[in-house]
Amino acid sequence: MAANLQHPFQCLQFVERPNANFLIGSAGSKLYSYSAETGQQLAIWPQAVESSNGAEAQLEQGPPEKKRKVEDTQTAEPSGPTSETPEKSQASPAWSNIPILTTTANGEYVVALTAEDKCIRVFQFQEDGSFTQLSERTMPKRPSAITITSDDNTILCGDKFGDVYSLPLIPGDKPHVATRVPRGAKLSQPAATNLTVHTKGNLKALEQQQKLSNEAKAEEKPGLAFEHNLLLGHVSLLTDIAYVSLPDASSTKKRNYILTADRDEHIRVSRGLTQAHIVENYCLGHTSFISQLCVPQWAPEYLVSGGGDKHLLVWKWAEGRILQKVPLVDQASETAEVAVHGIWATSLGGQRAILVALHGSPRLQCFTLEADGTLTSQAPIQLSGNALGLTSIEKDNTILVSVDCIREPGTTHEWRASPSSPSALIEAFRVKSDTGLEWEQTAASVLEKIHSTGTSEVPLTTTEKERKELNDSLYNLGHLRKKKGEDE
Amino acid sequence: MPDLPSHPSNPTNSTPTSSSSTNTPATMTPPPPKRQKRDEYRKHAAEAASAKPDGETTAIAHVKLPKKKFYRQRAHANPFSDHQLNYPVTPAHMDWASHFPAFVNPDPAQTNLIGTRKLLKDVEVVDIGCGFGGLLVGLAGLLPETLMVGMEIRVSVLDYLTTRIQALRTQQQQKAQSQSQSQPASSTSTPAPTTDADADADTPSEAAPAIPDPTANTALVPGGYQNITAIRSNTMKFFPNFFKKQQLSKIFICFPDPHFKARKHKARIISETLNAEYAYALRPGGLLYTITDVEEYHHWILRHFRDESTVEDEANGAGTVKELFERVSEEELEKDDCVKVMMEATEEGKKVTRNKGNKYVAVFRRKQDPEWA
């Protein structure tokens, strides 16, 4: 057992509830919850098969029509084939990882995206720390960014094809009627006629289509069976989305905005939910893909964005104005390509910090954001593994960073030969004083407890192919970079 | 004339600026003679078109317009793939000066963010998917003081149009020169192209505002084609890189690729999500012109711009992009010369006429943004 590696936490979130505080995280194909006070593991989702028939039934309902094989990665999980009963292998979920995990502001609901089945799942987060799944909604295209509006009522979901949908957090009871009229009737007749411009070949094809259309019935793709609205679209892969409220200068009402970023260097500023078709402006200035948007809650007029560029940009986003270009790597050195993995804003002990992790880097870069929007570099934090997720416990002046305990620090593909001991899934750092952003590592007993129970194991015997799939599920920003290739 | 000669869609690597390199494939096989011939033709055409009108006007008396048959390319391009495109980081980074030398701000201190000269005015009219440029050439004389740009994703077609515009400009300069030489008062010095064009632009338009026939080398066209240009771009992705908020007064979308299959409808240039981007670049009161020969696409356009609501659509499309547009009435369109040009001067329009097909026109006016909800 000790020889095996453990799935790191891909996402990590501190949840503050009136009666107790929790830590939730996604590792491998599962969700975990812990007591924030003791580190006691409270629940795992999906549960083992014996205790929950419901979960299994749901899983089987899910449409596993995705072409990608996920079985391979599943075998990499818990136990060897000898101890695996047939029921258990059936219960292994249709996804290999949970790349997005977020909660409502009140901590009552958890929204998670399971990767391969493109399914947005909403859970009620119970007082005892367990997850009760309320809904699962399979999106037409792979979601790449999810956020919840500030009133906790609506999920905004951006996808691989650049579309942004709004979904009610809690779907209504009424079965949803697709608003689009099925166009089957119209389409059974080809839209082209012999009066439209054609080449000879096209004309022939058209004749054939017209012959066929009398016999064949057009296949109707069933629409989504739940309420959803298309808010806006980029013709590009959508990478991040932010929902921001700004006080309106002319009235007491707040103005809501949706900020969306894509692979083609655009940040679009649209109006909020009901008027998302009105583009207020664009924040243009990046020269490579954008992967992260960060609008601090305590300074919503500023935006820090990063991606494939070797710098961050700080924006006064409502004006589309760049305030600052902040280098991420030593400009003099010819460093390899960088990609921003995460940007987090936190306010600890009077310090307003922006924390930045690069893809596959064990160094957490620290900045302070001044009132005028200036980003000032501070001493970085060195971690024992690549930074994956981050959450802050502001009342304790502490941040928790989930680190990659599988790969060697500084690389996205080289695996450790043996588990680091003690196996570190999460590291905690506290701001020392309120005079500057100085950190001290806290080895709280909470973390020890979390580490002692661990997550699911990844055997060291995992094959190259399976390793690559696991790597890609955590480190996939490289695909966003444009290849300088052939053109037509 | 038969329909499009069915060319094998051999991708061409030549860009408008690369002068001579016949890009040999990596396999070291010599390029097929057809392509070689084509590349040579294009090179010569580009050189001839940009010939400066110096003293020897007689020697290059007739700059010929390029022939389309050397620039054919498959009629479709995938708008979702990464082409090797050049596009400015922001509209303020766009080098328009090289496209409109006649409209460069005379003050050399006036430069944009990449250090190129600013223009005296902004580009105001865009033809999305301009193809071989019939619309631009038709509009050039109609709106001589308005800067217009055509955007096209296909390299070869853009090559053709760039050469064509250059040739048209040179022809006009030569004509203006020969006319001025025949007048006794005119100076004999060789005018620089820019000043020459300025003079052109200032001459009162004695030519009728009727659609000029680009093949007829006769009349002087107001503006001397200095006000039109073409750019290679994927407008579905990069429209906001070229134009700032409310910069445009007219957008033309003429005979868009119909993408007949339902599966391909997401590649259509008109959709509610893209219409939001057109609304961003179009100033209130600005017009968006569409024309197609496909009836189903016409209804698609109406559906996505407000006019025709689907059965269960909310009233008047409130809460969607439809609230930003209103359809322009038929009576108004009859008075609009741009509609005439769109019907008759575009290459596709002519083809449809030859084919005795139908043309469906719809024009939409950009309304003011509604109040914040």
Q: Which residues contact A460 (CB under 8 A, 6 or more apart)?
A: A3, A4, A5, A415, A417, A418
Edge-to-edge strands of the sheet including A363-369? A340-348, A351-358, A363-369, A375-382
Question: B357 at the A interface (CB within 8 A)?
Answer: yes
**Is B278's Cβ below 8 Å from some Cβ in A?**
no
Answer whether B296 sits within 8 Å of A186, measured CB to CB: yes
Chain A residues within 8 A of B355 when measuring between CB atoms: 195-197
Mutation site for B-interface testing, chosen from A154, A176, A193, A196 by largest number of B Cβ within 10 Å: A196
Q: Which CATH superfamily is domain B35-49+63-182+190-366 in?
A: Vaccinia Virus protein VP39 (3.40.50.150)
**Cα angle B92-B94-B99, degrees, rounded to a multiple of 5:** 140
Q: State the count of interchain CB pairs (< 8 A) between A and B.
A: 133
Select from A198, A253, A285 the Cβ nearest to the Cβ of B3: A198
- Which residues in chain A have their CB less than 8 angstroms from residue B89's CB? 265, 284-285, 287
pLDDT value for B16? 42
Interface test with A, best of B81, B82, B89, B283 (most A CBs within 10 A): B82
Contact B166, B49 (CB under 8 A): yes
Please name the amino acid found at residue B155: V
Cis omega (within 30 of 0) for bond into A422:
yes
> Looking at beta carbons, which residues of chain B come within 8 Å of A199?
3-4, 6
Of B3, B238, B348, the CB nearest to A199: B3
Domain spans of chain B?
Answer: 35-49+63-182+190-366
Mutate to test the interface with A, among B3, B239, B309, B367 (most CBs of A within 10 A): B3
pLDDT tens digits for range A147-196: 999 999 999 999 999 999 999 999 877 666 555 444 444 445 667 777 77
B153 assigned to a ligand binding site: yes
Helix orientation angle between B155-182 and B193-202, rounded to the nearest 10 degrees = 70
In this complex, which of A197, A264, A488 lies closest to B355 when CB atoms are compared?
A: A197
Q: What is the pLDDT of residue B71?
A: 84
Residues of A in contact with B276 (CB under 8 A): 232-233, 270, 277-279
B4: contact with A, CB 8 A cutoff: yes
Catalytic, out of B257, B313, B336, B337:
B257
DSSP annotation of A415: B
ipTM of this predicted complex? 0.83
> What phi-psi label fits residue B339: left (phi over 0), alpha (psi between -120 and 50 degrees) or beta?
alpha
Is B1 in the A-facing interface, judged by CB distances under 8 Å?
Answer: no
**Span A384-413, average pLDDT:** 92
Give B236→chain A minimum CA distance, Å. Answer: 6
Nearest to B294 by CA among A207, A193, A204: A193
A65, pLDDT greater than 50: no
Residue B162 among known ligand-binding residues: no
Q: Rounded to whole angstroms, how far apart are CA atoms B145 and A431?
A: 63
Out of A94-103, B12-21, B294-303, which region has the weakest mean confidence (pLDDT)?
Answer: B12-21
Q: Does A248 touch chain B (CB under 8 A)?
A: yes
Q: Does the pLDDT of residue B91 top 70, yes or no?
A: yes
Q: Give bridge partners of residue A312 from the DSSP assignment.
A: A326
Of B3, B89, B356, the CB nearest to A285: B89
218-237 of B, contacting A, C-beta below 8 A: 236-237
Q: What mean pLDDT, rounded, does chain A reach?
A: 83
Predicted local distance difference test score (pLDDT) of residue B198: 37
**B257 given a catalytic annotation:** yes
Q: What local confidence, expressed as pLDDT, does residue B192 receive?
A: 39
Q: What is the DSSP string of A70-90?
A: -HHHHHTSSS-GGG--HHHHH
Strand pairing class (B282-292; B248-254): parallel
Residue A191 near chain B (CB below 8 Å): yes
Nearest CA in chain A to B14: A488
Q: How far apart are the first and last CA of chain B?
A: 56
Question: How many Å lie between the alpha carbon of B366 and the closest alpha carbon of chain A?
Answer: 12
For B:74-93, CB contacts with A below 8 A are 77, 79-80, 82-84, 89-90
The residue with tokens 């990596």 is B26
pLDDT in tens, A443-476: 778 888 888 888 888 888 778 888 888 999 999 8
Q: For residue A208, what pLDDT is reported? A: 74
Chain A hits for B241, CB-CB cut-off 8 Å, are 284
HSE, CB side, 13 Å, CA atoms: give it for residue A366: 20
Average pLDDT over residues A122-138: 94
- pLDDT class of B199 with cuts at 50, 70, 90: very low
What pLDDT band is residue A367 in, cutting at 50, 70 and 90?
very high
Mean pLDDT across chain B: 80
Please give the pLDDT value at position A188.
53
B41, pLDDT greater than 50: yes
Q: What is the pLDDT of residue A198?
A: 66
Determine the average pLDDT of the residues in A40-65.
59
Cβ–Cβ gap A197/B357 under 8 Å: yes
* B347 annotated ligand-binding residue: yes
3-class secondary structure for chain B? CCCCCCCCCCCCCCCCCCCCCCCCCCCCCCCCHHHHHHHHHHHHHHHHHCCCCCCCCCCCCCCCCCCHHHCCCCCCCCCCCCCCCCCCCCHHHCCCCCCCHHHECCCCCCECCCCCECECCCEEEEEECCCCCHHHHHHHCCCCCCEEEEEECCHHHHHHHHHHHHHHHHHHHHHHHHHHHHCCCCCCCCCCHHHHHHHHHHCCCCCCCCCCCCCCCCCCCHHHHCCEEEEECCHHHHHHHHCCCCCEEEEEEECCCCCCCHHHHHHCCCCHHHHHHHHHHEEEEEEEEEEECCHHHHHHHHHHHCCCCCCCCCHHHCCCHHHHEEECCHHHHHHCHHHHHHHHCCHHHHHHHHCCCCCEEEEEEECCCCCCC
A-chain CB neighbours of B369 within 8 Å are 278
